[in-house]
Amino acid sequence: MATVMNEADLAAFLVREFPQVESDFRIERLTEDGIVVRLKVTDRHLRPGGTVSGPSIFGLADVAVYLAILARIGPVALAVTTNGGVDFLRKPVAGADLIGTARLLKLGRVLAVGDVLIRSDGQEEPVARASMTYSIPPRR
């Protein structure tokens, strides 16, 4: 899939449109069919017991698929999540950032579907797998 926005464009979009979360994420690289995004894990992402919280993992999956879509269609801020699910597979490594590797399975006119494998930085085994569906607003 051809990209319309590069890593710098996507990062600038996050700063402009989502300043409340942009500091949590770093775009590692665009791939042929998706994107790799890092969640910079801090104390606010942890739940009791010191592991990364489910909402933080879901957030990484959501942001990764959103950015993968925007990289292909441009800065459409009103593309929205219509469905999402996460399978939690194992406990993340304590103190490690999480890396989400998202790929778009379908990018249609009104719907996009992607999946994300989430790993602790430096680890091969995934800690979670997510599936996300987005609604894309009509383009004029």
> What's the mean per-residue pLDDT of the chain?
94
Q: What is the pLDDT of residue 50?
A: 84
Q: In whole angstroms, how far apart are CA 67 and each of 48, 49, 55, 90, 119?
A: 30, 31, 18, 25, 18
Tokens 């009509």, located at residue: 138
Q: What is the mean pLDDT of residues 13-20?
A: 92
Helix axes 54-73, 7-17, angle to 10 degrees: 120
Q: Which CATH class is domain 7-135?
A: alpha beta
Q: What is the pTM of this model?
A: 0.95
Q: What is the pLDDT of residue 140?
A: 65
Whole-number percent of the chain with pLDDT over 70: 99
Q: What is the pLDDT of residue 127?
A: 98
CA 29/CA 6 separation, integer angstroms? 9
Instruction: Answer whether residue 1 shows pLDDT above 80.
Output: no
What would the pLDDT profile of 58-115 be if each residue is shown by its tens digit? 999 999 999 999 999 999 889 999 999 999 999 999 889 999 999 999 999 999 999 9
H helix and E strand count, the chain: 2, 6
